[in-house]
Amino acid sequence: MENEMKTNLKKLLVASAFLMTTVGMVGVVGAHQGKKGERLEEIKAELKLTPAQEKAFKTIQEDKRAKFKELKKSDLPKEEKRAQMRALKAETRAELAKTLDAQQLAKLDAKMEKRKAKFKGKRGERGPRLEKLADELELTEPQRNQIKSIMEDAKAERELILEANDSDRRQARPELKAHRQEVKGKIRAVLSAEQAAKFDAMKAKHKGDRKGKRKGQAKKGE
Protein backbone atom coordinates (compact mmCIF):
# COMPACT_ATOMS: atom_id res chain seq x y z
CA MET A 1 0.00 0.00 0.00
CA GLU A 2 2.80 2.39 1.03
CA ASN A 3 4.76 1.54 -2.16
CA GLU A 4 1.65 2.17 -4.27
CA MET A 5 1.16 5.59 -2.63
CA LYS A 6 4.80 6.48 -3.30
CA THR A 7 4.45 5.42 -6.94
CA ASN A 8 1.28 7.49 -7.40
CA LEU A 9 2.91 10.51 -5.74
CA LYS A 10 5.93 10.18 -8.03
CA LYS A 11 3.65 10.03 -11.10
CA LEU A 12 1.78 13.11 -9.89
CA LEU A 13 5.02 15.08 -9.39
CA VAL A 14 6.30 14.10 -12.85
CA ALA A 15 2.98 15.09 -14.45
CA SER A 16 3.00 18.43 -12.60
CA ALA A 17 6.57 19.16 -13.68
CA PHE A 18 5.70 18.34 -17.30
CA LEU A 19 2.65 20.61 -17.20
CA MET A 20 4.65 23.52 -15.72
CA THR A 21 7.38 23.11 -18.36
CA THR A 22 4.82 23.04 -21.18
CA VAL A 23 3.04 26.15 -19.90
CA GLY A 24 6.40 27.91 -19.55
CA MET A 25 7.36 27.08 -23.14
CA VAL A 26 4.03 28.35 -24.45
CA GLY A 27 4.56 31.57 -22.48
CA VAL A 28 8.02 32.10 -23.99
CA VAL A 29 6.77 31.48 -27.54
CA GLY A 30 3.85 33.80 -26.94
CA ALA A 31 6.19 36.48 -25.59
CA HIS A 32 8.35 36.34 -28.73
CA GLN A 33 5.33 36.47 -31.02
CA GLY A 34 3.88 39.33 -29.00
CA LYS A 35 7.16 41.25 -29.18
CA LYS A 36 7.21 41.11 -32.99
CA GLY A 37 3.57 42.21 -33.14
CA GLU A 38 4.27 45.05 -30.70
CA ARG A 39 7.13 46.32 -32.90
CA LEU A 40 4.88 46.38 -35.97
CA GLU A 41 2.19 48.22 -34.02
CA GLU A 42 4.80 50.70 -32.78
CA ILE A 43 6.05 51.38 -36.33
CA LYS A 44 2.48 51.56 -37.62
CA ALA A 45 1.65 54.22 -35.01
CA GLU A 46 4.87 56.23 -35.43
CA LEU A 47 4.76 56.29 -39.23
CA LYS A 48 0.95 56.48 -39.40
CA LEU A 49 0.78 53.63 -41.90
CA THR A 50 -2.35 53.06 -43.95
CA PRO A 51 -3.74 49.48 -43.98
CA ALA A 52 -2.22 48.96 -47.46
CA GLN A 53 1.18 50.26 -46.29
CA GLU A 54 1.06 48.07 -43.19
CA LYS A 55 0.42 44.97 -45.30
CA ALA A 56 3.22 45.86 -47.75
CA PHE A 57 5.64 46.68 -44.88
CA LYS A 58 4.98 43.31 -43.24
CA THR A 59 5.53 41.47 -46.55
CA ILE A 60 8.82 43.32 -47.18
CA GLN A 61 10.10 42.50 -43.68
CA GLU A 62 9.15 38.81 -43.95
CA ASP A 63 10.82 38.56 -47.37
CA LYS A 64 13.97 40.27 -46.05
CA ARG A 65 14.11 37.99 -43.02
CA ALA A 66 13.81 34.84 -45.16
CA LYS A 67 16.53 36.01 -47.57
CA PHE A 68 18.95 36.87 -44.76
CA LYS A 69 18.38 33.47 -43.15
CA GLU A 70 19.19 31.77 -46.46
CA LEU A 71 22.30 33.90 -46.89
CA LYS A 72 23.42 33.08 -43.35
CA LYS A 73 23.14 29.33 -44.10
CA SER A 74 24.99 29.57 -47.43
CA ASP A 75 28.59 28.45 -47.95
CA LEU A 76 29.51 31.47 -50.05
CA PRO A 77 32.97 33.05 -49.58
CA LYS A 78 32.88 35.75 -46.89
CA GLU A 79 33.44 38.65 -49.31
CA GLU A 80 30.58 37.49 -51.54
CA LYS A 81 28.38 37.04 -48.47
CA ARG A 82 29.07 40.61 -47.40
CA ALA A 83 28.39 41.92 -50.91
CA GLN A 84 25.05 40.06 -51.01
CA MET A 85 24.19 41.37 -47.56
CA ARG A 86 24.76 44.96 -48.73
CA ALA A 87 22.71 44.26 -51.88
CA LEU A 88 19.83 42.82 -49.81
CA LYS A 89 19.82 45.87 -47.54
CA ALA A 90 19.71 48.18 -50.57
CA GLU A 91 16.94 46.08 -52.12
CA THR A 92 14.88 46.21 -48.91
CA ARG A 93 15.27 49.97 -48.64
CA ALA A 94 14.26 50.43 -52.28
CA GLU A 95 11.09 48.40 -51.63
CA LEU A 96 10.33 50.48 -48.54
CA ALA A 97 10.87 53.69 -50.55
CA LYS A 98 8.15 52.52 -52.95
CA THR A 99 5.77 51.86 -50.05
CA LEU A 100 6.38 54.85 -47.75
CA ASP A 101 6.31 58.56 -48.46
CA ALA A 102 9.44 60.73 -47.94
CA GLN A 103 8.48 61.77 -44.40
CA GLN A 104 7.71 58.22 -43.29
CA LEU A 105 10.96 56.93 -44.80
CA ALA A 106 12.97 59.65 -43.01
CA LYS A 107 11.33 58.70 -39.69
CA LEU A 108 12.07 55.01 -40.26
CA ASP A 109 15.71 55.77 -41.18
CA ALA A 110 16.11 57.83 -37.99
CA LYS A 111 14.63 55.02 -35.91
CA MET A 112 16.96 52.42 -37.47
CA GLU A 113 20.02 54.65 -36.99
CA LYS A 114 19.11 55.15 -33.33
CA ARG A 115 18.80 51.39 -32.83
CA LYS A 116 22.09 50.77 -34.66
CA ALA A 117 23.91 53.37 -32.52
CA LYS A 118 22.51 51.82 -29.34
CA PHE A 119 23.67 48.36 -30.41
CA LYS A 120 27.09 49.70 -31.47
CA GLY A 121 27.49 51.35 -28.07
CA LYS A 122 26.71 48.11 -26.28
CA ARG A 123 29.12 46.18 -28.45
CA GLY A 124 31.84 48.70 -27.63
CA GLU A 125 31.51 47.84 -23.94
CA ARG A 126 31.50 44.10 -24.44
CA GLY A 127 34.50 41.84 -24.42
CA PRO A 128 38.18 42.69 -24.71
CA ARG A 129 38.75 44.43 -28.02
CA LEU A 130 41.70 43.91 -30.33
CA GLU A 131 43.92 46.66 -28.85
CA LYS A 132 43.36 45.40 -25.33
CA LEU A 133 44.03 41.82 -26.42
CA ALA A 134 47.20 42.85 -28.23
CA ASP A 135 48.53 44.65 -25.14
CA GLU A 136 47.52 42.22 -22.41
CA LEU A 137 48.28 38.99 -24.31
CA GLU A 138 51.40 40.37 -26.01
CA LEU A 139 50.22 39.24 -29.43
CA THR A 140 52.68 38.75 -32.25
CA GLU A 141 51.97 40.57 -35.52
CA PRO A 142 50.69 37.37 -37.26
CA GLN A 143 48.41 36.64 -34.27
CA ARG A 144 47.10 40.21 -34.32
CA ASN A 145 46.30 39.99 -38.04
CA GLN A 146 44.54 36.62 -37.63
CA ILE A 147 42.42 37.87 -34.73
CA LYS A 148 41.58 41.08 -36.62
CA SER A 149 40.28 38.95 -39.50
CA ILE A 150 38.26 36.77 -37.08
CA MET A 151 36.68 39.88 -35.53
CA GLU A 152 35.80 41.39 -38.92
CA ASP A 153 34.13 38.13 -40.00
CA ALA A 154 32.33 37.98 -36.64
CA LYS A 155 30.93 41.49 -37.11
CA ALA A 156 29.50 40.56 -40.54
CA GLU A 157 28.01 37.35 -39.12
CA ARG A 158 26.40 39.25 -36.22
CA GLU A 159 24.79 41.60 -38.72
CA LEU A 160 23.37 38.64 -40.63
CA ILE A 161 21.97 37.12 -37.44
CA LEU A 162 20.33 40.39 -36.41
CA GLU A 163 18.92 41.13 -39.87
CA ALA A 164 17.46 37.60 -40.00
CA ASN A 165 15.74 38.37 -36.68
CA ASP A 166 14.42 41.86 -37.53
CA SER A 167 17.19 43.45 -35.39
CA ASP A 168 15.48 42.00 -32.30
CA ARG A 169 18.35 41.14 -29.93
CA ARG A 170 16.06 39.26 -27.56
CA GLN A 171 14.82 37.03 -30.35
CA ALA A 172 18.37 36.57 -31.71
CA ARG A 173 19.91 35.90 -28.27
CA PRO A 174 20.41 32.10 -28.63
CA GLU A 175 22.10 32.52 -32.04
CA LEU A 176 24.24 35.42 -30.81
CA LYS A 177 25.33 33.43 -27.76
CA ALA A 178 26.35 30.44 -29.91
CA HIS A 179 28.12 32.82 -32.29
CA ARG A 180 30.12 34.40 -29.43
CA GLN A 181 31.25 30.96 -28.27
CA GLU A 182 32.32 30.09 -31.81
CA VAL A 183 34.33 33.33 -32.12
CA LYS A 184 35.92 32.74 -28.72
CA GLY A 185 37.01 29.27 -29.88
CA LYS A 186 38.55 30.69 -33.06
CA ILE A 187 40.50 33.31 -31.10
CA ARG A 188 41.74 30.72 -28.58
CA ALA A 189 42.99 28.56 -31.46
CA VAL A 190 45.35 31.39 -32.48
CA LEU A 191 46.81 31.75 -28.97
CA SER A 192 49.46 29.84 -27.05
CA ALA A 193 48.38 27.89 -23.94
CA GLU A 194 49.55 30.72 -21.66
CA GLN A 195 47.81 33.38 -23.75
CA ALA A 196 44.60 31.29 -23.87
CA ALA A 197 44.57 31.05 -20.06
CA LYS A 198 44.96 34.85 -19.78
CA PHE A 199 42.24 35.34 -22.41
CA ASP A 200 39.82 33.11 -20.43
CA ALA A 201 40.59 35.08 -17.25
CA MET A 202 39.91 38.38 -19.07
CA LYS A 203 36.57 37.08 -20.36
CA ALA A 204 35.58 35.77 -16.91
CA LYS A 205 36.44 39.11 -15.26
CA HIS A 206 34.51 41.04 -17.88
CA LYS A 207 31.48 38.76 -17.40
CA GLY A 208 31.65 39.33 -13.63
CA ASP A 209 31.91 43.10 -14.10
CA ARG A 210 28.84 43.07 -16.36
CA LYS A 211 26.81 41.08 -13.81
CA GLY A 212 27.81 43.52 -11.06
CA LYS A 213 26.85 46.48 -13.23
CA ARG A 214 23.42 44.95 -14.01
CA LYS A 215 22.77 44.30 -10.29
CA GLY A 216 23.69 47.91 -9.49
CA GLN A 217 21.31 49.20 -12.16
CA ALA A 218 18.53 46.92 -10.86
CA LYS A 219 18.97 48.27 -7.30
CA LYS A 220 18.79 51.86 -8.56
CA GLY A 221 15.51 51.05 -10.30
CA GLU A 222 13.93 49.69 -7.10
Which of the 8 DSSP states describes residue 138?
T
Question: For residue 182, which amino acid is it?
Answer: E
Please report, in tens digits, the pLDDT of each residue of the chain (222 residues total): 544 544 444 444 433 333 333 333 333 333 344 455 567 788 888 899 999 999 999 999 899 889 988 988 888 887 888 889 889 989 999 999 999 999 999 988 888 788 777 666 555 544 458 888 899 999 999 999 999 999 988 888 888 888 777 677 788 889 889 999 999 999 999 999 999 999 999 888 877 665 555 555 555 555
CA distance 141 to 132: 14
Give the pLDDT confidence of 49-72 residue by residue, as tens digits: 999 999 999 999 899 889 988 988
Give the pLDDT confidence of 103-126 residue by residue, as tens digits: 999 988 888 788 777 666 555 544
CA distance 146 to 184: 13
